[in-house]
Structure 1
């Protein structure tokens, strides 16, 4: 999942460690999310969006196959 986390963090003037402390994870987790090496939990996605006071979609950009719908799985 692609994201704009580093841009938001830079805009707020925060280090990875400072952001991690605000949302209750390690600096390594923030680093891995920013580097697209780790897909964060739904809980972390919402915590980060809430911290930056923006919609989840502004920070995280999932690669969704728009051709697939729920009816395809029935």
Structure 2
């Protein structure tokens, strides 16, 4: 499992479900838009602190960001 890809895919999917842009989401997280873009494009590994900030902004449990699509059911 490529954890960076799973994480980035989930961040993008949950963000899109909320219907907000990368810029608005980055502001909600207290991070930069290019940082969010790099996560969603699988170019960035991130700290545990930022993982929690993202989960909080998405209003989901942190572990959900690490589940592959087939594991979510």
Specify the TM-score bucket, using the shorter chain as the normaliser. Answer: 0.7 to 0.9
Structure 2: state its 5+ residue gaps: 68-73
TM-score of the pair, normalised by structure 1: 0.74
Which protein has the bigger helix share?
2
Q: Return the match for 2:48 from 38, 42, 58.
A: 42
TM-score of the superposed pair, with normalisation by structure 2: 0.75
Which has the higher Rg, Structure 1 or Structure 2?
Answer: 1
State the Cα distance separating 1:60 from its structure 2 match: 3.1
RMSD of equivalent CA atoms: 1.2
> Which 4+ residue blocks in structure 1 deviate beyond 3 angstroms?
none
CA distance in 2, matches of 1:9, 1:23: 11
